[in-house]
Amino acid sequence: MRNSVAAAAAAGGVLAAALPTLAASTAPASEAAADSMLVRPVAAVPGGDVRMLTSIVPVAATYEPEPLEVDIADLVKATGLAELRAAAFCDDADLDDLGRVKPWVRAGARFLSCLHDEPELIGVAQRSRDSDHPRGLAIDLMVRGERGDRIAECALSNQEELGVDYVIWEQRYNDGDGWERMSDRGDDTENHFDHVHVSFDGDAPESTPHPERCG
């Protein structure tokens, strides 16, 4: 394990073993992102099967809230294993704009980015309501069309291995049980036609993603 952690640090993994815990913080609301929030189907539209789901608008990170308190042993394990798995596919993806996302989220971003021509990535970002972005548990991959189709399907094909909670793409939501149509939010960004949103679980996955599933 000591060797794995050292390798992860050398590959650019963020290792917090010197700290006993990481303090939690709450992100302030942003008027600029007032109409975006997290993502669950809350009601079916009468007379149709359109789910009333709110969307998540990609916003560049303006602050980096402290991650939630975690056990240091779990953090070391997640950092070492997740970064080493991701580095097996590439080690030069541009992850600078992700901010302080969780180690397995960073690993998932590296995996998806490397396989799909390294699109622009957004990670930690301010939201006005409940969202996975301020907590470091979500990424946006800025793409359109067929490239976005491939990224969305790749994330879902490796859902357990990457620790993916759900994906939003082209006005649809998928948590592993198939695509559900979302309500029209008015423009391409609100409807996720210009980016794939991927939210991740709160715990690190323990298996390795499979690039061959991504076509």
Note the pLDDT of residue 29: 43
Domain count, the chain: 1
Which residues are within 8 A (CB) of 68 and not within 5 positions of it... i.e. 6 or more apart? 22, 24, 135
Q: With 0.75 as the threshold, say if the pTM is over it.
A: no
Supply 184's token pair.
């029209």
- The answer to the question of residue 163 being in a domain is yes
- Owning domain of residue 121: 32-68+94-214
- The tens digit of pLDDT for each residue in 78-98 reads 445 555 455 555 666 788 889
- The answer to the question of residue 86 being in a domain is no
- The answer to the question of residue 18 being in a domain is no
72-87 vs 103-115: helix crossing angle, rounded to 10: 10
- The tens digit of pLDDT for each residue in 98-109 reads 999 999 999 999
Contact assessment for residue 163 and residue 204, using Cβ atoms and an 8 Å cutoff: yes
- The answer to the question of residue 19 being in a domain is no
Spans of the chain below 50 pLDDT: 1-46, 48, 50, 52, 54-55, 61-63, 66-73, 75-79, 84
Note the pLDDT of residue 130: 67
Note the pLDDT of residue 68: 45
- The answer to the question of residue 135 being in a domain is yes
- The tens digit of pLDDT for each residue in 136-153 reads 999 999 999 999 999 999
- The answer to the question of residue 36 being in a domain is yes
- The answer to the question of residue 56 being in a domain is yes
Write the CA distances from 62 to 29, 32, 33, 58, 127, integer angstroms: 12, 11, 12, 12, 10
Rounded to the nearest 10°, the torsion over CA 6, 11, 120, 63 is 40
- The answer to the question of residue 113 being in a domain is yes
